[in-house]
Structures are given as C-alpha cells and as structure tokens.
Structure 1
Amino acid sequence: MARILAVDDEPAIRSLLERTLAKDGHDVRCAACAEEALAARPERYDLVLLDVMMPGMDGFELCGRIRTLTDAPIVFLTAKAAEEDAVFGLGV
C-alpha cells in the first residue's frame, strides 16, 4: 500500500487520519507542524495530506517547500471554501 504523510496541527484529525488510513493497510506517518513534516523527509512518501491553516508556516508555504523535494501528490485538508484559496492552492 501507499506511504502517506499527514500534516495537521489538530491531534484529533491526525489520529483520525492515521487510524482510518492504517486500517486500509497504508503506512501512515503524522506530523503536527511544518518542521516535523520536513524532518520526516516528505520525499519518501507516495502522498502528502496537508492542512492549510497551521500556526507558523502555513500549508501553502509548506507545500511549496515539499514540492521542491518531490512530485508526489499533495492533497490539501482545509475548512477554507473561498474560490481564491482553491486557485492559490492549485498554483502552489
């Protein structure tokens, strides 16, 4: 199965993602912030799940950093619904 890096500052969301994806046989690693995500070496993963609204470095900036390391798919997890946020995220 896939190796997945899930990045979210909310412990409950990280736990839900880890349990759900591991149940389906995926190898899941969770990170609570951008620094932890970069230390996890995102280039080793098949998929990155990335929260947009995190303290410190936000998900858009982290996405730009990760994109320099890997071309693996990045899926944003966000409560933002504005069209300009979606367009910006696709551009990153």
Structure 2
Amino acid sequence: MKKLLTLAAMLFMGLSTTLVSAQSKTAKKTTTTTQTVKTKKDGSPDLRYKTNTSTSTKKVVGPVKKDGTADMRYKANKTTTTVSKTTKKKP
C-alpha cells in the first residue's frame, strides 16, 4: 500500500510541474499597450484622468515660488499691459 501511495504522489508531482511549466510558457507572450483617451458621454476628454490633462509649462523668466509658479512680486514675472485712462470732459 505504501508503494502505491508513493507512486501516486510521484506521478502527481511530475504532472503538476509539467502543467506549471507549460502554463508559464504561454503566459510570457508580449502584449502591446496603447494609451487610450478616456472620454465623457458627450465625447470630450475627461480631465479627471492624468492622461487627458495637458501639462503645458509656461517658461518663467524671473524668480519662482516653492511650488514652481512665478513669483509676481518681481517685475520680470509681470506681463506688461497698457491701460488707457479716459477722462470725461465737463460740459
């Protein structure tokens, strides 16, 4: 009886290792992944996902704050805009 159980155990171990190695060979197939844009129902990109947000970095000329944004206390970071003042003439 011991010989029969030993033979069955060896047979089981031999089959299990064969099946495991056969499965690992088929699992090594390479797959190509493409980035897909997640969209809302209306078709516009869903900006809650990182792949849909564009990280357009604006070049900062002058000093920056700790978070990387331009420090607007300095003249180099301020954009120059001309404001025309109009004065009303008294009738």
Q: TM-score range by the shorter chain?
A: under 0.3
Which of the pair has the greater relative contact order for Cα pairs under 8 Å at 6+ separation?
A: 1
- TM-score computed with the length of structure 2 as normaliser: 0.17
- Give 1 or 2: higher strand fraction: 1
Larger Rg: 2
